[in-house]
Amino acid sequence: MAVGLVAPERLLPVPGIRLSAVAAGIRYKNRNDLVLIEMAAGGAAAAVFTRNAFCAAPVHVAKAHIAATTPRLLLINSGNANAGTGKQGMGDAQRSCVLAGSALGVEDREVLPFSTGVIGEPLNVTAIEKALPGAVAALSEDAWMNAARAIMTTDTLPKGVSAQVCLSGGTVTLTGICKGAGMIRPDMATMLGYIATDAVIDKADLKALLVDAVNLSFNSVTVDGDTSTNDALVLLASGASRVGLSGDGDRRLFADALNALAMELAQTIIRDGEGATKFITLDVRGAAHRDEARAVAYTIAHSPLVKTAFFASDPNWGRILAAVGRAGIDDMQIEAVQVWLDDVQIVVDGGRNPEYREELGQTVMNRAEITVRVELGRGDQRATIWTTDLSHDYVKINAEYRT
């Protein structure tokens, strides 16, 4: 039921990066569920991870490994999160790295493990071990679409974006894939996301670029307000193009391309949110500081009453106003607040717009893509958050997730 989303026809290969996807039978039958992403020696990597206190075993292992060395291989399984699995889960994640490293001829600490799926069930490491030889044999630069499909869980479509940017030393490529449709309110990145480039970028600069991109994109989306135990986003720079960021101009060009790609990827998650029928942009302006604007936007986005009104296409704008009022801004000046549904102003100076008519609001609410703009009148800071409505299908999908 994705809103305005289609699967990419093709994703650009990134020199220095090879991928594969195979069926290991970890949870799903007759579909690929194990992915390898290999980076050639000499590259750099950066990553951000969930801040959930119950983060999964592979998150612990991946964080330790990337802190110790530059990864050469990402090992990703879908269908099982390997979260809430205690010491056995840690052992399984570490064992998976040993097996994958051995299969590709790299050290186990050069492998980053990632898992997504059901929480609290042991990971079938034996299935991974049996599938690894085939996964290594299938490695190819042109397997991004296969990988995008294999990491899906409740996603209805594979998610991926490619871009190229001309720098002073030549053209570099960026390609990224991600998965996620529910348990979405990142506190670092996305559910699982992998972006690669062939540019030459050192580790410190790569991390700074990644953090900036994440804050503009993946940390600005929410489906249901739930931060997953397994969220992770990795940025790989293979350096295969031998084109670096020469000066501020190149860095700005590359950062703009990365930010745009990350934003588009993040929005694919919202467009494919579990049961989503509406893609909603929350644009909060006039805040005293950015965190204040984000607090208002997230309060609206997480209101079940607001979300169900959007699902029903009901212009019950009082629910939006109530959410703004409970966003935690103690000294809010009510008479300064203005609210719009797309181009229809529903609130003027803190109250109903005298010119507002129900049929105008209804016209907007009937649309699949809607922007709610809130002006707080407190300063010049703003924030944009993307979210979904809350439908019958969201409840059904999550009620039946394990059956």
Catalytic residue among 50, 116, 175, 190: 190
Distance (Å, whole) CA 124 – CA 103? 17
Distance (Å, whole) CA 97 – CA 400? 32
Kindly state whether residues 310 and 347 are assigned to the same domain. Answer: yes
Mean pLDDT of 168-189: 82
Q: Is 322 in a helix, a strand, or coil?
A: helix
Kindly state whether residues 154 and 301 are assigned to the same domain. Answer: no
Does residue 398 register a pLDDT over 90?
A: no
Distance (Å, whole) CA 140 – CA 152? 20
Kindly state whether residues 295 and 265 are assigned to the same domain. Answer: no
Mean pLDDT of 50-67: 94
Kindly state whether residues 212 and 307 are assigned to the same domain. Answer: no
Active site residue 299: no
Task: Provide the pLDDT confidence category of residue 339 given band limits of 50, 70 and 90.
Answer: very high
Kindly state whether residues 165 and 284 are assigned to the same domain. Answer: no
Mean pLDDT of 325-345: 95
Task: Provide the pLDDT confidence category of residue 235 given band limits of 50, 70 and 90.
Answer: very high
Mean pLDDT of 179-205: 82
Task: Provide the pLDDT confidence category of residue 1 given band limits of 50, 70 and 90.
Answer: low
Residue 183, pLDDT score: 67
* CATH number reported for the structural domain that contains residue 129 in this entry: 3.60.70.12
pLDDT per residue as tens digits for the range 383-397? 999 999 999 988 887
Residue 190, pLDDT score: 47
Domain boundary residue, one of 252, 271, 290:
271
Task: Provide the pLDDT confidence category of residue 188 given band limits of 50, 70 and 90.
Answer: very low
- Judge whether 12 lies within some domain: no
- Domain range for 100 is 17-271
User: What mean pLDDT is reported for the chain?
Assistant: 94
Edge to edge, the sheet with strand 381-388 lists 351-352, 344-348, 338-341, 369-375, 279-287, 381-388
* Structural contact between residues 173 and 198, judged by C-beta atoms closer than 8 angstroms: yes
Number of domains in the chain: 2
Kindly state whether residues 87 and 64 are assigned to the same domain. Answer: yes
Kindly state whether residues 31 and 134 are assigned to the same domain. Answer: yes
Kindly state whether residues 233 and 94 are assigned to the same domain. Answer: yes
Q: Is 292 in a helix, a strand, or coil?
A: helix
Mean pLDDT of 201-207: 97
Kindly state whether residues 376 and 243 are assigned to the same domain. Answer: no
Contacts of 356 (CB under 8 A, 6+ apart): 344, 345, 346
- Judge whether 30 lies within some domain: yes
Does residue 184 register a pLDDT over 70?
A: no
Mean pLDDT of 308-328: 96
Mean pLDDT of 130-137: 98
Share of the chain above pLDDT 70, in %: 97
Domain boundary residue, one of 271, 297, 329:
271
Distance (Å, whole) CA 321 – CA 347? 8
Domain boundary residue, one of 271, 302, 336:
271
Looking at per-residue confidence, does 162 or 219 come out higher?
162
Mean pLDDT of 57-75: 98
* CATH number reported for the structural domain that contains residue 390 in this entry: 3.10.20.340
- Judge whether 206 lies within some domain: yes
